[in-house]
Amino acid sequence: MVNVAVLGYGTVGSGVYEVLTQNKEVISKRVGDEVNVKYVLDLREFPGDPVESVLVHDFDIILNDPEVDIVAEAMGGLNPAYKFAKATLEAGKNYCTSNKELVAKYGPELIALAEKMNKNFLFEASVGGGIPIIRPLNESLTGDNITEISGILNGTTNFILTKMDKEGSSFDDVLKEAQALGYAEKDPTADVEGYDACRKIAILSSLAYGSHVDFEDIYTEGITKITDVDFKYTKKMNKSIKLFGKSKNVNGKIYAMVAPFMIDDEHPLFSVNGVKNGILCKGPVIDDIMFYGSGAGKLPTASAVVADVIEEARYLNSHIKMVWEPEKIEIADIKTDENKYFVRVEGNADAKLAEVKAAFGEVEVVTVDDVTDEFAFITNVMAHEKYEEAAAKVSGIKQRIRMA
Protein backbone atom coordinates (compact mmCIF):
# COMPACT_ATOMS: atom_id res chain seq x y z
CA MET A 1 0.00 0.00 0.00
CA VAL A 2 1.15 3.54 -0.77
CA ASN A 3 0.13 6.01 1.95
CA VAL A 4 -0.46 9.65 1.20
CA ALA A 5 -0.83 12.67 3.49
CA VAL A 6 -2.51 15.81 2.17
CA LEU A 7 -1.46 19.12 3.75
CA GLY A 8 -4.23 21.74 3.68
CA TYR A 9 -7.94 21.07 3.26
CA GLY A 10 -8.93 24.24 1.41
CA THR A 11 -9.93 24.57 -2.25
CA VAL A 12 -7.12 22.45 -3.72
CA GLY A 13 -6.49 20.10 -0.79
CA SER A 14 -10.17 19.13 -0.52
CA GLY A 15 -10.14 18.45 -4.27
CA VAL A 16 -7.06 16.24 -3.90
CA TYR A 17 -8.73 14.29 -1.08
CA GLU A 18 -11.93 13.95 -3.13
CA VAL A 19 -10.14 12.66 -6.25
CA LEU A 20 -7.84 10.30 -4.33
CA THR A 21 -10.76 8.77 -2.42
CA GLN A 22 -13.44 8.76 -5.15
CA ASN A 23 -11.08 7.52 -7.89
CA LYS A 24 -9.13 5.23 -5.56
CA GLU A 25 -9.75 2.10 -7.60
CA VAL A 26 -8.58 3.45 -10.95
CA ILE A 27 -5.66 5.32 -9.36
CA SER A 28 -4.50 2.18 -7.51
CA LYS A 29 -4.78 0.20 -10.76
CA ARG A 30 -2.65 2.77 -12.58
CA VAL A 31 -0.03 2.70 -9.84
CA GLY A 32 -0.12 -1.07 -9.46
CA ASP A 33 -0.60 -0.80 -5.70
CA GLU A 34 -3.33 0.51 -3.41
CA VAL A 35 -3.10 4.29 -2.92
CA ASN A 36 -4.55 5.31 0.42
CA VAL A 37 -5.05 8.73 2.03
CA LYS A 38 -3.82 8.15 5.56
CA TYR A 39 -3.88 11.75 6.82
CA VAL A 40 -5.19 15.19 5.96
CA LEU A 41 -3.61 18.06 7.88
CA ASP A 42 -5.45 21.31 8.46
CA LEU A 43 -5.73 23.92 11.18
CA ARG A 44 -9.53 23.76 11.27
CA GLU A 45 -12.12 21.11 12.21
CA PHE A 46 -14.57 19.90 9.55
CA PRO A 47 -17.54 18.53 11.50
CA GLY A 48 -19.62 16.06 9.50
CA ASP A 49 -17.12 15.91 6.61
CA PRO A 50 -15.79 12.42 5.72
CA VAL A 51 -12.28 13.88 6.06
CA GLU A 52 -12.76 13.83 9.85
CA SER A 53 -11.65 10.19 10.00
CA VAL A 54 -8.16 11.09 8.72
CA LEU A 55 -7.88 14.70 9.92
CA VAL A 56 -4.86 15.69 12.02
CA HIS A 57 -3.54 19.04 13.23
CA ASP A 58 0.06 18.14 13.97
CA PHE A 59 2.49 17.73 11.06
CA ASP A 60 4.84 15.64 13.21
CA ILE A 61 2.30 12.79 13.18
CA ILE A 62 2.77 12.61 9.40
CA LEU A 63 6.52 13.17 9.46
CA ASN A 64 7.13 10.51 12.09
CA ASP A 65 4.86 7.87 10.55
CA PRO A 66 7.12 5.50 8.58
CA GLU A 67 4.07 4.28 6.61
CA VAL A 68 3.62 7.70 4.91
CA ASP A 69 5.29 7.61 1.49
CA ILE A 70 4.00 10.79 -0.17
CA VAL A 71 3.11 14.21 1.18
CA ALA A 72 0.94 16.37 -1.11
CA GLU A 73 0.90 20.00 -0.02
CA ALA A 74 -1.87 22.51 -0.80
CA MET A 75 -1.53 24.99 2.08
CA GLY A 76 0.16 27.82 0.19
CA GLY A 77 2.70 30.34 1.47
CA LEU A 78 6.35 29.83 2.39
CA ASN A 79 5.90 29.10 6.05
CA PRO A 80 5.57 26.39 7.17
CA ALA A 81 5.47 24.88 3.64
CA TYR A 82 9.26 25.19 3.14
CA LYS A 83 9.99 23.67 6.54
CA PHE A 84 7.54 20.82 5.90
CA ALA A 85 8.91 20.13 2.39
CA LYS A 86 12.50 19.96 3.63
CA ALA A 87 11.63 17.78 6.62
CA THR A 88 9.55 15.44 4.43
CA LEU A 89 12.36 14.90 1.91
CA GLU A 90 14.97 14.57 4.64
CA ALA A 91 12.77 11.90 6.25
CA GLY A 92 12.95 9.92 2.98
CA LYS A 93 9.43 10.64 1.78
CA ASN A 94 8.24 12.13 -1.52
CA TYR A 95 6.71 15.61 -1.70
CA CYS A 96 4.47 17.27 -4.26
CA THR A 97 2.87 20.69 -4.16
CA SER A 98 0.58 23.20 -5.87
CA ASN A 99 2.40 26.02 -4.09
CA LYS A 100 4.15 28.26 -6.65
CA GLU A 101 5.54 30.59 -4.01
CA LEU A 102 7.45 27.64 -2.57
CA VAL A 103 8.57 26.32 -5.95
CA ALA A 104 9.68 29.70 -7.36
CA LYS A 105 11.77 30.45 -4.27
CA TYR A 106 13.10 27.06 -3.22
CA GLY A 107 12.70 24.92 -6.38
CA PRO A 108 16.40 24.22 -7.07
CA GLU A 109 17.19 23.50 -3.41
CA LEU A 110 14.26 21.09 -2.96
CA ILE A 111 14.92 19.33 -6.28
CA ALA A 112 18.58 18.85 -5.25
CA LEU A 113 17.50 17.52 -1.85
CA ALA A 114 15.05 15.12 -3.51
CA GLU A 115 17.82 13.91 -5.81
CA LYS A 116 20.19 13.40 -2.86
CA MET A 117 17.52 11.38 -1.02
CA ASN A 118 16.56 9.47 -4.20
CA LYS A 119 13.00 10.81 -3.83
CA ASN A 120 10.90 13.28 -5.80
CA PHE A 121 9.79 16.87 -5.42
CA LEU A 122 7.06 17.43 -8.03
CA PHE A 123 4.95 20.53 -8.71
CA GLU A 124 2.73 20.07 -11.76
CA ALA A 125 -0.11 22.11 -10.21
CA SER A 126 2.10 25.11 -9.48
CA VAL A 127 1.67 26.44 -13.03
CA GLY A 128 -1.47 26.38 -15.18
CA GLY A 129 -3.80 24.65 -12.68
CA GLY A 130 -4.94 21.45 -14.42
CA ILE A 131 -2.79 21.91 -17.53
CA PRO A 132 0.09 19.46 -17.83
CA ILE A 133 3.03 21.78 -18.51
CA ILE A 134 5.76 20.97 -15.98
CA ARG A 135 5.99 17.31 -17.01
CA PRO A 136 5.99 18.13 -20.76
CA LEU A 137 8.80 20.66 -20.20
CA ASN A 138 10.75 18.16 -18.12
CA GLU A 139 10.10 15.10 -20.24
CA SER A 140 8.45 15.63 -23.63
CA LEU A 141 10.23 18.74 -24.93
CA THR A 142 13.71 17.91 -23.68
CA GLY A 143 15.17 17.35 -27.16
CA ASP A 144 14.69 21.02 -28.01
CA ASN A 145 16.12 24.32 -26.84
CA ILE A 146 13.00 26.28 -25.94
CA THR A 147 13.43 29.85 -27.16
CA GLU A 148 10.18 31.46 -26.05
CA ILE A 149 7.28 30.95 -23.64
CA SER A 150 4.19 33.17 -23.68
CA GLY A 151 1.38 32.31 -21.37
CA ILE A 152 -1.87 33.38 -19.86
CA LEU A 153 -0.80 32.00 -16.51
CA ASN A 154 -3.33 33.33 -14.05
CA GLY A 155 -6.96 32.18 -14.02
CA THR A 156 -8.27 34.96 -11.79
CA THR A 157 -7.01 37.81 -13.95
CA ASN A 158 -8.08 36.11 -17.18
CA PHE A 159 -11.53 35.61 -15.64
CA ILE A 160 -11.66 39.31 -14.72
CA LEU A 161 -10.39 40.58 -18.08
CA THR A 162 -12.78 38.31 -20.01
CA LYS A 163 -15.80 39.46 -18.01
CA MET A 164 -14.78 43.13 -18.38
CA ASP A 165 -14.34 42.58 -22.12
CA LYS A 166 -17.37 40.47 -22.97
CA GLU A 167 -19.91 41.51 -20.31
CA GLY A 168 -18.78 45.01 -19.34
CA SER A 169 -18.52 43.85 -15.69
CA SER A 170 -16.72 45.90 -13.07
CA PHE A 171 -13.26 44.84 -11.94
CA ASP A 172 -14.21 44.66 -8.25
CA ASP A 173 -17.38 42.60 -8.81
CA VAL A 174 -15.59 40.01 -10.94
CA LEU A 175 -12.70 39.76 -8.50
CA LYS A 176 -15.22 38.92 -5.75
CA GLU A 177 -16.73 36.26 -8.03
CA ALA A 178 -13.29 34.75 -8.70
CA GLN A 179 -12.62 34.64 -4.97
CA ALA A 180 -15.96 32.92 -4.30
CA LEU A 181 -15.13 30.33 -6.98
CA GLY A 182 -11.82 29.54 -5.24
CA TYR A 183 -9.63 30.86 -8.09
CA ALA A 184 -7.91 33.72 -6.29
CA GLU A 185 -4.94 33.61 -3.94
CA LYS A 186 -5.49 34.19 -0.21
CA ASP A 187 -4.32 37.75 -0.86
CA PRO A 188 -5.67 38.49 -4.36
CA THR A 189 -3.10 41.26 -4.79
CA ALA A 190 -0.85 38.40 -5.91
CA ASP A 191 -3.23 37.76 -8.81
CA VAL A 192 -4.18 41.28 -9.89
CA GLU A 193 -0.71 42.78 -9.53
CA GLY A 194 0.84 39.96 -11.55
CA TYR A 195 3.00 38.46 -8.76
CA ASP A 196 1.43 35.01 -9.17
CA ALA A 197 2.02 35.00 -12.94
CA CYS A 198 5.56 36.24 -12.25
CA ARG A 199 6.33 33.20 -10.09
CA LYS A 200 4.82 30.94 -12.73
CA ILE A 201 6.87 32.34 -15.62
CA ALA A 202 9.95 32.09 -13.38
CA ILE A 203 9.22 28.38 -12.81
CA LEU A 204 8.58 27.65 -16.50
CA SER A 205 11.64 29.63 -17.62
CA SER A 206 13.88 27.91 -15.07
CA LEU A 207 12.81 24.51 -16.40
CA ALA A 208 12.99 25.59 -20.04
CA TYR A 209 16.47 27.14 -19.76
CA GLY A 210 17.77 24.75 -17.07
CA SER A 211 19.01 27.35 -14.56
CA HIS A 212 17.36 29.50 -11.94
CA VAL A 213 15.26 32.43 -13.11
CA ASP A 214 14.67 34.47 -9.97
CA PHE A 215 11.11 35.82 -9.89
CA GLU A 216 12.41 38.90 -8.11
CA ASP A 217 14.35 39.86 -11.26
CA ILE A 218 11.25 39.79 -13.47
CA TYR A 219 9.60 43.05 -14.53
CA THR A 220 5.96 42.74 -13.44
CA GLU A 221 2.85 44.79 -14.17
CA GLY A 222 -0.65 43.67 -13.18
CA ILE A 223 -4.10 44.47 -14.53
CA THR A 224 -5.32 47.04 -12.01
CA LYS A 225 -4.86 49.92 -14.47
CA ILE A 226 -6.93 48.28 -17.23
CA THR A 227 -10.34 49.99 -17.54
CA ASP A 228 -13.63 49.58 -19.39
CA VAL A 229 -12.49 52.34 -21.79
CA ASP A 230 -9.55 50.21 -22.94
CA PHE A 231 -12.04 47.53 -23.95
CA LYS A 232 -14.01 50.04 -26.04
CA TYR A 233 -10.90 50.45 -28.18
CA THR A 234 -10.16 46.71 -28.33
CA LYS A 235 -13.72 46.05 -29.50
CA LYS A 236 -13.30 48.47 -32.37
CA MET A 237 -9.96 46.91 -33.36
CA ASN A 238 -11.01 43.21 -32.91
CA LYS A 239 -8.41 42.85 -30.20
CA SER A 240 -8.38 41.83 -26.59
CA ILE A 241 -6.22 42.38 -23.51
CA LYS A 242 -4.58 39.46 -21.70
CA LEU A 243 -2.12 39.31 -18.82
CA PHE A 244 0.93 37.54 -20.24
CA GLY A 245 3.89 35.96 -18.55
CA LYS A 246 6.59 35.92 -21.19
CA SER A 247 10.16 34.88 -21.50
CA LYS A 248 12.40 34.59 -24.51
CA ASN A 249 15.95 33.83 -25.40
CA VAL A 250 17.22 36.46 -27.84
CA ASN A 251 20.74 35.55 -28.97
CA GLY A 252 21.56 34.14 -25.54
CA LYS A 253 19.98 37.03 -23.62
CA ILE A 254 16.97 35.97 -21.53
CA TYR A 255 14.10 38.43 -21.30
CA ALA A 256 11.26 37.78 -18.85
CA MET A 257 8.27 39.88 -17.94
CA VAL A 258 4.66 39.93 -16.82
CA ALA A 259 2.36 42.61 -18.24
CA PRO A 260 -1.00 43.12 -19.92
CA PHE A 261 -0.72 42.73 -23.69
CA MET A 262 -3.15 43.76 -26.38
CA ILE A 263 -3.50 40.95 -28.91
CA ASP A 264 -5.48 40.58 -32.10
CA ASP A 265 -8.00 37.91 -32.99
CA GLU A 266 -5.44 35.86 -34.88
CA HIS A 267 -3.14 35.43 -31.90
CA PRO A 268 -3.19 31.79 -30.71
CA LEU A 269 -4.03 32.91 -27.16
CA PHE A 270 -6.91 35.22 -28.21
CA SER A 271 -9.60 32.60 -27.49
CA VAL A 272 -8.25 31.66 -24.07
CA ASN A 273 -11.08 33.09 -21.97
CA GLY A 274 -12.42 32.99 -18.42
CA VAL A 275 -10.47 30.86 -15.96
CA LYS A 276 -8.75 29.03 -18.80
CA ASN A 277 -4.98 29.40 -19.20
CA GLY A 278 -2.96 28.94 -22.36
CA ILE A 279 0.78 28.46 -22.71
CA LEU A 280 2.60 28.78 -26.00
CA CYS A 281 6.16 27.45 -26.27
CA LYS A 282 8.48 27.85 -29.22
CA GLY A 283 11.64 26.03 -30.14
CA PRO A 284 13.59 25.36 -33.32
CA VAL A 285 12.72 21.66 -33.21
CA ILE A 286 9.15 21.70 -31.91
CA ASP A 287 8.17 24.94 -33.72
CA ASP A 288 5.02 26.10 -31.85
CA ILE A 289 3.26 24.05 -29.20
CA MET A 290 0.30 25.19 -27.13
CA PHE A 291 -1.17 23.95 -23.86
CA TYR A 292 -4.72 24.87 -22.84
CA GLY A 293 -7.02 24.15 -19.90
CA SER A 294 -8.42 25.35 -16.59
CA GLY A 295 -5.82 27.50 -14.88
CA ALA A 296 -7.39 27.41 -11.42
CA GLY A 297 -10.19 25.79 -9.46
CA LYS A 298 -10.64 22.84 -7.10
CA LEU A 299 -10.85 19.79 -9.35
CA PRO A 300 -8.65 20.83 -12.30
CA THR A 301 -5.86 21.72 -9.89
CA ALA A 302 -6.46 18.54 -7.90
CA SER A 303 -6.04 16.61 -11.16
CA ALA A 304 -2.48 17.94 -11.48
CA VAL A 305 -1.61 17.24 -7.83
CA VAL A 306 -3.01 13.71 -8.07
CA ALA A 307 -0.98 13.12 -11.24
CA ASP A 308 2.13 13.96 -9.18
CA VAL A 309 0.98 11.61 -6.41
CA ILE A 310 0.57 8.83 -8.99
CA GLU A 311 3.99 9.56 -10.50
CA GLU A 312 5.60 9.51 -7.07
CA ALA A 313 3.76 6.29 -6.17
CA ARG A 314 5.13 4.69 -9.34
CA TYR A 315 8.68 5.90 -8.60
CA LEU A 316 8.63 5.64 -4.80
CA ASN A 317 12.33 5.00 -4.48
CA SER A 318 13.87 6.50 -7.59
CA HIS A 319 14.47 10.12 -8.47
CA ILE A 320 13.02 11.46 -11.73
CA LYS A 321 15.71 13.72 -13.21
CA MET A 322 14.77 17.40 -13.33
CA VAL A 323 17.25 20.06 -14.48
CA TRP A 324 16.90 23.36 -12.59
CA GLU A 325 20.41 24.45 -11.61
CA PRO A 326 20.69 26.91 -8.71
CA GLU A 327 22.92 29.35 -10.65
CA LYS A 328 20.90 32.45 -11.48
CA ILE A 329 20.28 33.42 -15.09
CA GLU A 330 20.86 37.11 -15.64
CA ILE A 331 17.66 38.65 -16.98
CA ALA A 332 18.10 41.25 -19.74
CA ASP A 333 17.15 44.82 -18.86
CA ILE A 334 13.50 45.52 -19.66
CA LYS A 335 14.63 48.88 -21.13
CA THR A 336 15.80 47.06 -24.25
CA ASP A 337 12.67 44.92 -24.69
CA GLU A 338 10.91 45.89 -27.94
CA ASN A 339 7.16 46.16 -28.51
CA LYS A 340 4.51 48.20 -30.23
CA TYR A 341 2.50 50.27 -27.74
CA PHE A 342 -1.18 51.22 -27.62
CA VAL A 343 -1.37 54.67 -26.02
CA ARG A 344 -4.41 56.73 -24.91
CA VAL A 345 -4.05 60.50 -24.63
CA GLU A 346 -6.27 63.28 -23.34
CA GLY A 347 -7.47 65.80 -25.88
CA ASN A 348 -8.44 65.95 -29.51
CA ALA A 349 -6.51 63.95 -32.11
CA ASP A 350 -6.39 66.83 -34.66
CA ALA A 351 -5.07 69.26 -32.08
CA LYS A 352 -2.52 66.91 -30.52
CA LEU A 353 -1.24 64.79 -33.35
CA ALA A 354 1.71 67.07 -34.15
CA GLU A 355 2.95 66.77 -30.55
CA VAL A 356 2.54 62.98 -30.65
CA LYS A 357 4.34 62.67 -34.01
CA ALA A 358 7.19 64.89 -32.85
CA ALA A 359 7.81 62.43 -30.03
CA PHE A 360 6.92 59.08 -31.58
CA GLY A 361 7.24 59.58 -35.36
CA GLU A 362 4.48 58.10 -37.52
CA VAL A 363 1.66 56.51 -35.50
CA GLU A 364 -1.71 54.93 -36.24
CA VAL A 365 -4.54 56.93 -34.69
CA VAL A 366 -7.57 55.16 -33.21
CA THR A 367 -10.77 56.85 -32.08
CA VAL A 368 -13.98 55.41 -30.70
CA ASP A 369 -17.34 57.12 -31.20
CA ASP A 370 -18.56 57.08 -27.63
CA VAL A 371 -15.20 57.95 -26.07
CA THR A 372 -14.79 61.71 -26.09
CA ASP A 373 -12.03 64.07 -24.97
CA GLU A 374 -9.32 61.57 -25.79
CA PHE A 375 -7.88 59.47 -28.59
CA ALA A 376 -5.46 56.59 -28.91
CA PHE A 377 -2.52 55.77 -31.11
CA ILE A 378 -0.36 52.76 -31.88
CA THR A 379 3.39 53.21 -32.07
CA ASN A 380 5.89 51.41 -34.23
CA VAL A 381 8.01 48.72 -32.56
CA MET A 382 10.23 50.46 -30.04
CA ALA A 383 12.39 49.61 -27.03
CA HIS A 384 10.83 50.23 -23.60
CA GLU A 385 13.45 52.87 -22.90
CA LYS A 386 12.67 54.72 -26.18
CA TYR A 387 8.97 54.54 -25.36
CA GLU A 388 9.59 56.17 -21.97
CA GLU A 389 11.68 58.93 -23.56
CA ALA A 390 9.02 59.67 -26.18
CA ALA A 391 6.12 59.46 -23.70
CA ALA A 392 7.80 62.04 -21.47
CA LYS A 393 7.45 64.55 -24.35
CA VAL A 394 3.66 64.12 -24.71
CA SER A 395 1.28 65.60 -22.16
CA GLY A 396 -1.88 63.84 -20.97
CA ILE A 397 -0.98 60.19 -21.58
CA LYS A 398 -3.62 58.15 -19.70
CA GLN A 399 -2.76 54.61 -20.63
CA ARG A 400 -0.19 52.50 -22.40
CA ILE A 401 -0.45 48.80 -23.15
CA ARG A 402 2.08 46.68 -24.98
CA MET A 403 0.95 44.91 -28.13
CA ALA A 404 1.85 41.38 -29.18
Which residues are the active-site residues?
200
11 is a contact residue toward ligand NDP (CB under 6 A): yes
Stretch that binds ligand HSE, among 161-169, 184-192, 207-215, 341-349 (CB under 6 A): 184-192
The interface with ligand HSE within residues 257-296 (CB under 6 A) comprises 295-296
The interface with ligand NDP within residues 16-55 (CB under 6 A) comprises 41-44
- Contact by Cβ (8 Å): 67, 38: yes
The CA dihedral of 301, 302, 306, 308, to the nearest 10 degrees, is 30
Please give the full DSSP string across 230-299, using - where no structure is assigned. HHHHHHHHTEEEEEEEEEEEETTEEEEEEEEEEEETTSTTTT--TTEEEEEEEETTTEEEEEEEE-SSHH
8 is a contact residue toward ligand NDP (CB under 6 A): yes
Q: Residue 39 or residue 123: which is nearer to ligand HSE going by CB? A: 123
Stretch that binds ligand HSE, among 20-28, 151-159, 209-217, 229-237 (CB under 6 A): 151-159
CA pair distance 124, 38, nearest whole angstrom: 22
The only residue of 136, 182, 210, 274 in contact with ligand NDP, by rule CB under 6 A? 182
In this chain, which residue has its C-beta nearest to ligand HSE? 156
CA pair distance 88, 41, nearest whole angstrom: 14
10 binds, among ligand NDP, ligand HSE, none (CB under 5 to 8 A by kind): ligand NDP
- In the complex, least distance from residue 337 CB atom to ligand NDP, rounded to whole angstroms: 27
Contacts for 90 with CB less than 8 Å, ≥ 6 apart: 113, 117
Nearest to 233 by CA among 262, 268, 209, 275: 262
| Residue type at position 213 | V
The interface with ligand NDP within residues 88-117 (CB under 6 A) comprises 98-100
Number of residues that bind ligand HSE (CB under 6 A): 11
Stretch that binds ligand HSE, among 133-141, 183-191, 327-335, 371-379 (CB under 6 A): 183-191
CA pair distance 275, 294, nearest whole angstrom: 6
The only residue of 134, 296, 307, 363 in contact with ligand NDP, by rule CB under 6 A? 296
Q: Residue 76 or residue 283: which is nearer to ligand HSE going by CB? A: 76
- In the complex, least distance from residue 364 CB atom to ligand NDP, rounded to whole angstroms: 39
- In the complex, least distance from residue 261 CB atom to ligand HSE, rounded to whole angstroms: 17
CA pair distance 278, 140, nearest whole angstrom: 18
99 binds, among ligand HSE, ligand NDP, none (CB under 5 to 8 A by kind): ligand NDP
Please give the full DSSP string across 79-92, using - where no structure is assigned. TTHHHHHHHHHHTT
CA pair distance 235, 229, nearest whole angstrom: 10
- Measured in whole angstroms, the distance separating CA 186 from the mean position of its chain's CA atoms is 15
Residues that bind ligand NDP (CB under 6 A): 8-13, 41-44, 74-76, 80, 98-100, 125, 129, 182-183, 185-186, 296-297, 301
